[in-house]
Structure 1
Amino acid sequence: MKKIILLAALILAVWNYYEAQKPLPENRTGLLSELVQTMQGQVLRKSPEFHCDGRRYCPEMTSREEAEYFMHFCPNTELDDNQNGIPCENDSRF
């Protein structure tokens, strides 16, 4: 039984590798391809607009996106007072 599972996992891995190596057609059509292109565009556009510069508190932030970046990537920030993952949620500016 273990051999069958290992063989199936190996076949799945090879198939996944093969599918990942196939070139994507330039003129994809259809709803699914439009959704994929939209998601790829959103992922590719997400370049870091912010950088860690020592700011630590919510009044020093200019947007919610900036606060999220600082909370996730910069050390020693105090942006999430109740530790629920949402920075500066009590700041009325955002």
Structure 2
Amino acid sequence: MKKILLIALIGYGGWQFYQKQSVAQPVTEPTVQVLPDYTVPLQKAREAASLLQFRCDGRQHCSQMKSYDEAVFFLRNCPDTKMDGDNDGIPCERQFNKG
């Protein structure tokens, strides 16, 4: 008798579990997120572009620079540069006629 009751109880539990699993879940629509319009001043955009254009690669001297903008990038962002002898923040003054 106990076996029959146990089998019936297990069967009933299985049936309840099956009923809950077979109920269709509602389909949710994906939401579209609208981002605010950020405008970037032209100078900031140019600075960002120069950061993407150049990268620190170990060069340290003015003779290794191809442009003044490249020298400025290296001076501001890369370690151990030797391009500003008078420490005025202007790199490679003689090479690029700055100063």
The TM tier, using the shorter chain, reads 0.5 to 0.7
1:58 paired to 2:59? no
Give the match's secondary structure for 1:72. Answer: helix
Aligned residues: 59
Larger gyration radius, structure 1 or structure 2: 2
Alignment match, 1:42: 43
RMSD: 2.2
Please report the TM-score for the alignment, with normalisation by the length of structure 1.
Answer: 0.53
Ranges of 4+ aligned residues in structure 1 off by more than 4 Å:
none
Contact 2:61 2:83 in 1 (8 A): yes
Deviation of the 1:44 alpha carbon: 2.4
* Identity within the alignment, %: 39
Please report the TM-score for the alignment, with normalisation by the length of structure 2.
Answer: 0.51
Deviation of the 1:69 alpha carbon: 0.2
1:90 paired to 2:94? yes
Give the match's secondary structure for 2:41. Answer: helix
Deviation of the 1:93 alpha carbon: 7.1
Unaligned runs of 5+ in 1: 1-22, 25-36
Distance in 2 between residues matched to 1:74 and 1:57, nearest whole Å: 12
